[in-house]
């Protein structure tokens, strides 16, 4: 949180999301003391990532013509790297410039493109299917709304979110980059207000609980049209 002096009053202004995400990686707030960039346990723990990789692989390989994928908030690419071989083209995007430079150097394959974009602000690349894995859970409702409003051009959306166990009040607002809705006993539901994503079909692909994690990580496939 940045403090701004205004006469005798001190107004707290949230950090821009880019600064917050850069700081998370720089200060290793998601762990990974021995890694250059580490996107968190949710991006590395085999118990968490394997059910996701298996479920998404079977969806991708169910198509005769492989899909073009836009991975929005690709992070350290520990997860994404396992999916590339099942796609036509894999466009991976993140808000942290240094991470995108590192990913370009680390994952060199003809069909992968890395771009540094703020998905709440910039135009999104086009493709058949969007992956948003544990990204929206870190963002304020205003940013989520601006992203959700841009998803209507993709036929498929695969969304993974960390949700509380049992029933919860969806979509309580948070400050971007300062912890997820779980701390407010809430989680994201993009079909509910204020997001109101319109979809043709919804299917849960996986739901994972682990001993060292509260709540569950749920992956849902939405068919938009
Ligand atoms: C917890 S990590 C998840 C990474 C990856 N999706 C995975 O599952 O391994 C969240 C990522 O979203 C990125 N991110 C957050 N807000 C973003 C935004 N507005 N535009 C692009 N990327 C963003 C962060 O920089 C971070 O790398």
For 102, list phi and psi in degrees, rounded to 5.
-65, -40
C-beta of 131 in contact with ligand 1 (< 6 A): no
CA of 93 to the centre of ligand 1 (A): 8
pLDDT score, position 9: 56
pLDDT score, position 15: 87
Say if 219 falls within a structural domain: yes
Say if 51 falls within a structural domain: yes
For 22, list phi and psi in degrees, rounded to 5.
-60, -40
pLDDT score, position 211: 73
Host domain of residue 82: 45-223
CATH number at residue 190: 3.40.50.150
- E strand or H helix at 10, and its extent? strand 9-13
Determine if the peptide bond prior to 11 is cis (ω within 30°): no
Say if 35 falls within a structural domain: no
pLDDT score, position 88: 98
- How many angstroms separate the CA atoms of 224 and 200, rounded? 5
- How many angstroms separate the CA atoms of 108 and 90, rounded? 12
Mutational test site, ligand 1, from 22, 38, 39, 174, max ligand atoms within 8 Å of CB = 39
CA of 74 to the centre of ligand 1 (A): 6
Say if 23 falls within a structural domain: no
Q: Residue 112, Cβ neighbours under 10 Å: how many?
A: 21
Say if 31 falls within a structural domain: no
Say if 76 falls within a structural domain: yes
Say if 2 falls within a structural domain: no
> What's the domain count of the chain?
1
Instruction: Tell me the chain's radius of gyration from C-alpha atoms.
Output: 17
CA of 94 to the centre of ligand 1 (A): 6
C-beta of 96 in contact with ligand 1 (< 6 A): yes
C-beta of 73 in contact with ligand 1 (< 6 A): yes
Mapped onto helix, strand or coil, the DSSP state of residue 127 is: coil
Give the pLDDT of the chain (225 residues) as one tens digit per residue: 444 444 445 666 778 999 999 999 999 999 999 999 999 999 999 999 999 999 999 999 999 999 999 999 999 999 999 999 999 999 999 999 999 999 999 999 999 999 999 999 999 999 999 999 999 999 999 999 999 999 999 999 999 999 999 999 999 999 999 999 999 999 999 999 999 999 999 999 999 997 777 899 999 999 999
Could you tell me if 115 and 141 are in contact, meaning their C-beta atoms sit under 8 angstroms apart? no
Mutational test site, ligand 1, from 94, 136, 145, 213, max ligand atoms within 8 Å of CB = 94
pLDDT score, position 4: 46
CA distances from 93 to 74, 97, 98, 155, 223 (A): 6, 10, 12, 18, 21
Say if 3 falls within a structural domain: no
């Amino acid at each position: 949180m940045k403090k701004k002096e205004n006469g005798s009053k001190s107004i707290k202004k949230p950090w821009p999301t880019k600064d917050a995400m850069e700081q998370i990686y720089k200060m290793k707030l998601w762990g990974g003391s021995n890694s250059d960039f580490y996107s968190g346990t949710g991006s590395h723990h085999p118990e968490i990532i394997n059910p996701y990789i298996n479920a998404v692989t079977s969806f991708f390989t169910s198509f005769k013509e492989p899909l073009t994928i836009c991975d929005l908030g690709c992070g350290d690419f520990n997860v994404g790297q396992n999916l590339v071989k099942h796609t036509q083209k894999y466009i991976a995007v993140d808000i942290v410039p240094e991470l995108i430079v590192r990913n370009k150097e680390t994952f060199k394959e003809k069909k992968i493109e890395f771009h540094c974009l703020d998905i709440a602000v910039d135009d999104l690349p086009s493709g058949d299917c969007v992956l948003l894995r544990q990204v929206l859970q870190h963002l304020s409702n205003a940013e989520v709304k601006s992203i959700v409003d841009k998803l209507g051009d993709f036929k498929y959306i695969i969304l993974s979110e960390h949700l509380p166990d049992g029933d919860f009040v969806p979509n309580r607002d948070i400050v971007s980059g300062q912890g997820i809705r779980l701390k407010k006993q809430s989680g994201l539901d993009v079909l509910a207000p204020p997001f109101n994503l319109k979809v043709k079909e919804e299917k849960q692909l996986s739901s994972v609980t682990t001993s060292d994690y509260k709540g569950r990580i749920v992956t849902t496939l939405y068919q938009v049209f």
